[in-house]
Homo-oligomer: A and B are copies of this chain.
Amino acid sequence: MVPQLATALNGPINELEQRMLESTPVIERWFRLEWMEHTPPFYASVTVQNAGFKLTPTDTDLFPAGWHQLAPETLQLAVQAAMAAIEKICPEAKNLLLIPKNDTSDLSYQANLARLAQIFTLAGLNVRFGSLSPQVNTTVELPLPSGDSLRLEPLLRTSRRLGLHYFDPCTILLNTALESGIPGMLEDLNEQYLLPPLHAAWPTRRQHRHFAIYEELAKRFAKTLGMDVWLIHPTSALCQGVNLTEPSGMEALQTQVDAVLTKTRRKYKEYGINEKPFVTIKSNQNPATFGQWLVRDAKDLPQMLSQEAQTLPLSQHSAFLVQEGVRTQERIQDTVAQPQVYVMDRYVVGGYYDLLATDGRPLNPSPTIPLLFDHPSASNTRSPNRFYMYGVIARLAVLAASYELEATDPEAETYD
C-alpha cells in the first residue's frame, strides 16, 4: 500500500508506470510475502530518480532526517506505522530515547527532531533526547519557532544500560548515521533495543553491497511483472583498492566508467532513447561525506579530479561506486523536483520533493515541497495513484537494506 499523494507528474502515464499500476495486487502481495521472511529497517528515506523511461533509487538512508518536510496531513500514517513497528519490537515500550546527530544547530534538523518526537509521542511513548556530543554535558534547551523547545540531555551509561537522568528507556532510536565511527557508549547494549542496529551505520554499510542486493531483488521483482530489470535498476560497478592520486588508480576508475557508459549506451539504443548517458561516481562508504561526480566521458576524469583534489583528500578514498546516471525529469516551475520517499517499518508514509537546479545541483537555500494527499473530492477516487511507483521502488530499496542488514549482522547465526 502506498498513500495516494499528488506528484508533479501530469503527463500521460507511460508503460512502466502503467505496468506497476496494473500489477498493484501482485506487487503488494510480493512485498507482503517478503516481509514475512525479512524484517524491515525501522525507518528509511529513499531518493528516487524518475527519468520517465526508467525509475531507480539512488540513496537509501537508514537514519533519515527531514521528517518535518512531510505534509502534516500525512503525519497519522507515520504514527500508525510507528505503532505497528513498536508493537513488534517491544510492545511493553514506555520510554523512547532519541539520539540525534551531534550537531543540532541547524534549524531544519531541529524541526525534524521535533516531528520525530511528535510521531512517537502520538504512538504512545515518552520521548526524550540524549546527546552523544561531548558539548552536551548538562541539559540544553533549544527554542523552536513554534514556541516549544527541544531539550537535549547528556547520556548516562551504566555497565548494561543507556539512559538519561531519571529516564530508563527500553528502546533507543538513532537519528544519526554515526559517520565518524561507533561511540563506545552505544556498544554492548544487550538489554535495550537499539534501532537501527549499529551495523546499519556507515562504518559498516557499503554502497556496492546495497546496490548488488537491490539488483538481485529487482531482477526477481521485474521477472514477476514480466519487465526488463534495467527499467528499475541503475547499472553499477565497484572500483576498489585504487589510489586516485596514482595513474593506475585513475585508469582503473576510467575503465569502470567506460564499462558503465557502454552498457548504458547499448540500453539507450535498445529503447530508442536519444540522450547522452552519464555516470555518477560516489564513495563506496557514506555518500554524505563525499558527494558525487557526474561524468559523461572517462577522458574527462583526470581533469575533473585535479579540480576536486583542491577540496577533497582523494587519497582517503579507495573504493568507489560507478553508477549509471538517471536524471529526474520532473519539474516544478523551473526547478528539478527530486522525490524523497519516507518509509516506516514496511509502510510508505509520505514524501517530499527536493527542488534542485536544472543541472541537478542543490540550490541554496535548498527548498522542499511536501507531497500532499491527492484526494480533492470523494468523486475523484478513481484517478490513478501517481505516487504509487515511487512507493514501489522505495520499498524495493528498503527491502534491499533489510537483506543487507541480515548479511552484515555480526550476531547472525550462520547455518550451513
Contact = CB atoms under 8 A, between A and B. Distances in A.
A164 interface: no
Contacts of A146: 379, 381-382
A379 to B, nearest CB: 7
Given A77-B80, A80-B81, A93 B29 contact: yes
Given A1-B76, A118-B381, A379-B146, A25 B91 contact: no
A80 B1 contact: yes
A75 interface: yes
Interface in A112-137: 118, 121-126
A35 interface: yes
Contacts of A3: 76, 79
Nearest to A124: B28
B122 A24 contact: yes
Interface in A1-40: 1, 3-4, 24-25, 27-29, 31-33, 35-36
B72 A1 contact: no
A347 B68 CA distance: 23
A84 interface: yes
Given A79-B1, A80-B80, A91-B32, A72 B375 contact: yes
Interface string A376-391: 0111111000000000
A265 to B, nearest CB: 38
A221 B241 CA distance: 62
Contacts of A124: 1, 24-25, 27-29, 31-32
Given A72-B378, A91-B33, A373-B73, A80 B347 contact: yes
A92 interface: yes
A197 to B, nearest CB: 23
Q: What bracket does the count of chain A residues touching chain B fall in?
A: 35 or more
A79 B347 CA distance: 11
A27 B124 CA distance: 7
A25 B72 contact: no
B25 A83 contact: no
A256 to B, nearest CB: 39
A151 interface: no
Q: Which 8 A-B pairs have the closest CB atoms?
A: A28-B124, A3-B76, A72-B375, A1-B79, A36-B91, A72-B378, A73-B373, A1-B83
A148 interface: yes
Nearest to A96: B25
A367 to B, nearest CB: 14
A243 to B, nearest CB: 48
Given A24-B121, A382-B148, A35 B1 contact: no
A35 B87 contact: yes
6 contacts: A1-B80, A25-B125, A32-B87, A35-B87, A80-B81, A80-B347
A263 interface: no
A157 interface: no
Given A25-B126, A32-B83, A68-B378, 6 more contacts: A24-B121, A24-B122, A29-B92, A35-B91, A84-B84, A146-B379
